[in-house]
């Protein structure tokens, strides 16, 4: 009776949660003897390996030397190859690493199938019959799970599919590490934008592939229910609830992707308060629903659960986008530099550089944005454990480059108030305009082949989107204005996400402006500002773009008072955007100390309307010059009309022989672009990389 209790403890109190999936009918239970489970010719060697294996996990750092020892004792026993493959898998970070891990895992899978077919095929409700087979079934699922991830990370979905079908043929009554139907659904979803011409196991449209993925998950649930007749006599009551959680996890992914909000929420609720609640996925789900406050909270929880995997930490990437929405791109810069320093050039490095480049762009640091996006473009990213593949990666890189080219063009206007009289500036602008058109042509050519553009890009806020909503404007603003007006107007009426409808309305208003319908656009913008669901803390970028559009409408209507008011609001809320809007802002300038008149003159040559009339709404810029000689120092800060800081008090150094450059630099600094902290962080990041 004591032995039986120990066996029951081993089976019922383990920490393995699995899903059971299978097609076809059940096999008849096979009665096995509890002893002599090894082939007779290798009995003593394998007992020795089993004894030495006790207490050593295949996932431990000791796995590799143990694998060599086990193979010396008996190289035909799968255990040594399992330990080697698991060790190499856990230390892989690129294609070659996973390829090296796949070899011993394939060997282990072949050996365990060759020697232990009876144990693998065992299905029974008898505890003493099941126990001798339990060890081999759980080892088999571990081998298959690692091998499947190797194939997936090597971007070989055909091999993944073949392996999963191979697992299903054994019809395990519990699958432990390898819930094959769930992984079939995941594999189909991950490759949903392909067709059967590329991978034979797919259908011929995204909708058909998503339905197929859902059917696999339904098969998983059916198998769990079917196997309960056997497992109820072996495992603790309610064990199947844990097995179903993996199905719910993938259901959440599929329904979130298809914007089936109620169904996705249902499955998230089923997983809530469990040990495997997917906080990262739930945060992304809340983001696509427009609930950025809740999303940030969930990403913070996900960050605390970060187990140090060598893969993209999506919580960090998407948190940097929320920082941009909140008008805090400097926080995103700090986060991304921290991720790069902590992880180095492991998978995720390219994505973090994309995010860093984006934050630099929205912080107005275009030169730095270009530097980091070039790093991302040159890096060979490995897309591990995510549906964010190479096409999304390339699109994000190219779109960021387009935004930087647009910003470069606007910088010529900002740095030269009378740019239209300057032949050199006009030449630079013409060159940049040509580069922008070439970049647009490149993106459109790539984008036209993307079958997901309607549900991932034009839809705004998708679980598979890797760019922020504002970036989409750069993609569409120069193409088919009437087409997008009709498209976004329809989305504003029909989208089932009430917090997102206002974003479609903003796009329609801005497109109406491009059509010259400024009165209509202003009415729409005024209506959007009345929306009670605007979160003024988490939607500062959204508000800033409304203020920018309102200022543009006022300018076209020649309403100077309205223009000044909207520009003041924009400068106060999100000053980093202003130099790249093509709109001139009002500012009062206060200089003191040993003033460098040449620097001030160059500053005033930038596109800022310097005013002295206190009745005009304007920020107040303060510059205190200090020091003499080749290097001088400026202490500066910017206040709003209430005396609150818009640009915090800080100091910059400049060389007197580069006064012209310093004057332009100060023009950007007065809009909170760059700064001492940003420069120090950039230097530390470069040293770390």
Q: How far apart are CA 664 and CA 323, in angstroms?
A: 27
Q: Residue 638: phi, psi to the nearest 5?
A: -135, 135
The CB density around residue 3, as the number of other CB atoms within 10 Å, is 9
- Asked whether 323 and 670 are in contact (CB, 8 A), the reply is no
Q: Are residues 541 and 596 in the same domain?
A: no
Contact 123, 26 (CB under 8 A): yes
Would you call 656 exposed, middle or buried from its count of C-beta atoms within 10 A (0-12, 13-18, 19+)? middle
Please check whether residue 626 is in contact with residue 656, taking contact to mean a CB–CB distance below 8 angstroms.
no
Three-state secondary-structure class, residue 620? strand
**534 falls within a domain:** yes
Q: What was the pLDDT predicted at 326?
A: 96
Quick one: 655 and 681 in the same domain?
Answer: yes
* 589 and 577 fall within a common domain: no
Burial class of residue 560 in the structure, from the number of CB atoms within 10 Å of its CB (0-12 exposed, 13-18 middle, 19+ buried) = exposed
Q: Is residue 42 part of a domain?
A: no
Same domain, 551 and 634: no
Give me the domain span that covers residue 528: 480-581
Same domain, 505 and 545: yes
Residues 567, 591, single domain; the answer is: no
Identify whether residues 568 and 638 lie together within a single domain. Answer: no
Alpha carbon separation from 265 to 242, 275, 284, 289 (Å, rounded): 19, 18, 12, 11
506 SS3 class: helix
User: pLDDT tens digit string along 81-126?
Assistant: 999 999 999 998 888 999 999 999 999 999 999 999 999 999 999 9
Q: Is residue 65 part of a domain?
A: no
Going from the first residue of the chain to its last (689 residues), give the mean pLDDT of each consecutive group of 10, the final group possibly shorter: 36 36 35 54 88 90 93 94 95 89 96 94 92 93 96 93 96 93 95 92 94 96 94 89 93 95 96 91 95 96 76 90 96 94 84 96 96 93 76 91 94 89 86 88 79 85 92 87 90 92 96 93 95 95 97 94 96 97 95 92 94 93 89 94 94 89 94 68 47
DSSP 274: S
Residue 512 lies in a domain: yes
Q: Are 556 and 597 part of one and the same domain?
A: no
Q: At which of 581, 611, 642 does a domain end?
A: 581
CB atoms inside a 10 Å sphere around CB 340:
21
Q: Is residue 670 part of a domain?
A: yes
pLDDT at 204: 93
CA 269 to chain centre: 23
One domain, residues 577 and 589: no
Look up residue 22 and give its DSSP letter: -
- 593 and 673 together in one domain: yes
* pLDDT for position 245: 93
- The count of domains in the chain is 2
Residue 103 in domain: no
Residue 355 lies in a domain: no
- The three-class DSSP label of residue 23 is coil
Is residue 574 domain-shared with residue 608, that is, in the same domain?
Answer: no
CA–centroid distance for 130 within its chain? 43
CA-to-CA distance for 617 and 340, rounded, in angstroms?
A: 41
Task: Tell me the C-alpha distance between 535 and 606, whole Å.
Answer: 34
pTM for the whole structure: 0.87
CA pair distance 631, 656, nearest whole angstrom: 6
> Within a domain: residue 250?
no
What CATH code is carried by the domain that includes residue 611? 3.30.160.150
- Does residue 576 share a domain with residue 488? yes
Taking the C-alpha atoms of residue 365 and residue 358, their distance in angstroms, rounded to an integer, is 10
Cα–Cα distance measured from residue 99 to residue 154, given in angstroms and rounded to the nearest whole number: 7
Query: Which of 536, 558, 581 is where one domain is finished?
Result: 581
Residue ending a domain, choose from 535, 559, 581: 581
């Amino acid at each position: 009776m004591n032995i039986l209790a120990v066996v029951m403890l081993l089976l019922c109190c383990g920490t393995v949660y699995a899903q059971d999936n299978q097609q076809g009918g059940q096999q008849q239970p096979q009665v096995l003897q509890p002893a002599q489970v090894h082939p007779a010719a290798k009995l003593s060697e394998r007992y020795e390996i089993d004894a030495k294996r006790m207490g050593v996990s295949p996932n431990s750092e000791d796995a590799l030397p143990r694998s060599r020892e086990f193979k010396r004792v008996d190289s035909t026993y799968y255990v040594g190859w399992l330990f080697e493959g698991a060790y190499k898998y856990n230390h892989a970070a690129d294609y070659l690493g996973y390829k090296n891990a796949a070899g011993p895992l394939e060997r282990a899978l072949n050996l365990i199938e060759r020697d232990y077919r009876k144990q693998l095929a065992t299905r029974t409700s008898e505890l003493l019959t099941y126990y001798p087979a339990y060890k081999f079934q759980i080892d088999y699922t571990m081998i298959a799970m690692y091998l499947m991830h190797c194939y997936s990370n090597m971007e070989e979905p055909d091999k993944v599919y073949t392996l999963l079908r191979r697992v299903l043929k054994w019809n395990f009554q519990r699958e432990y590490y390898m819930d094959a139907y769930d992984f079939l659904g995941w594999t189909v979803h991950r490759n949903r934008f392909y067709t059967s011409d590329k991978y034979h196991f797919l259908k011929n449209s995204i909708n058909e592939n998503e339905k197929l993925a859902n059917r696999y998950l339904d098969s998983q649930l059916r198998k769990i229910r079917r196997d309960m007749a056997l497992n109820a006599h072996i495992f603790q009551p309610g064990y199947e609830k844990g097995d179903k959680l993996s199905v719910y996890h993938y259901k959440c992914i599929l329904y979130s992707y298809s914007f089936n909000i109620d169904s996705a929420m249902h499955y998230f609720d089923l997983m809530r308060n469990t040990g495997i609640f997917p906080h990262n996925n739930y945060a992304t789900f809340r983001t696509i629903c427009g609930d950025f406050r809740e999303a940030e909270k969930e990403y913070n929880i996900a960050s605390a659960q970060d187990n140090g995997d060598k893969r993209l930490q999506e919580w960090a990437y998407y948190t940097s986008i929320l920082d941009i929405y909140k008008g805090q791109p400097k926080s995103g810069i700090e986060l991304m530099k921290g991720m790069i320093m902590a992880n180095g050039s492991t998978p995720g490095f390219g994505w973090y550089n994309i995010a860093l480049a984006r934050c630099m762009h929205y912080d107005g640091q275009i030169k730095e944005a270009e530097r980091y996006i070039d790093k991302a473009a040159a890096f060979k990213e490995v897309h591990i454990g995510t549906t964010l593949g190479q096409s999304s990666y390339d699109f994000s890189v190219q779109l960021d480059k387009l935004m930087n080219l647009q910003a470069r063009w606007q910088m010529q206007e900002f740095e030269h108030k009378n740019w239209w009289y300057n032949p050199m500036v006009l030449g630079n602008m013409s060159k940049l305009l040509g580069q922008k058109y070439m970049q647009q042509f490149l993106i459109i050519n790539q984008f036209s082949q993307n079958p997901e553009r309607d549900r991932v890009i034009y839809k705004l806020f998708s679980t598979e989107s890797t760019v922020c909503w504002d970036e989409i404007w750069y993609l569409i603003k120069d193409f088919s204005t009437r087409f997008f007006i009709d498209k976004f107007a329809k989305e504003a009426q029909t989208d089932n996400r009430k917090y997102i409808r206002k974003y479609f309305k903003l796009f329609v208003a801005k497109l109406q402006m491009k059509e010259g319908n400024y009165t209509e656009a202003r009415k729409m913008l005024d209506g959007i500002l009345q929306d009670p669901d605007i979160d003024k803390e988490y939607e500062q970028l959204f508000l800033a773009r409304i203020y920018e559009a309102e200022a543009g409408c006022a300018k076209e209507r020649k309403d100077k008072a309205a223009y000044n008011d909207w520009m003041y609001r924009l400068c106060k809320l999100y000053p980093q955007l202003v130099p790249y809007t093509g709109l001139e802002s009002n500012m009062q300038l206060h200089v003191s100390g040993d003033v460098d008149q040449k620097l001030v003159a160059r500053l005033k040559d930038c596109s800022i309307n310097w005013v002295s009339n206190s009745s005009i709404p304007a920020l107040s810029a303060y510059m205190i010059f200090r020091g003499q000689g080749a290097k001088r120092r400026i202490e500066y800060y910017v206040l709003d009309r209430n005396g609150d800081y818009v640009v915090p008090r800080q100091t910059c150094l400049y060389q007197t022989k580069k006064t012209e450059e310093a004057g332009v630099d100060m023009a950007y600094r007065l809009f909170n672009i760059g700064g001492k902290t940003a420069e120090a962080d950039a230097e530390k990041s470069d040293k770390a990389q």
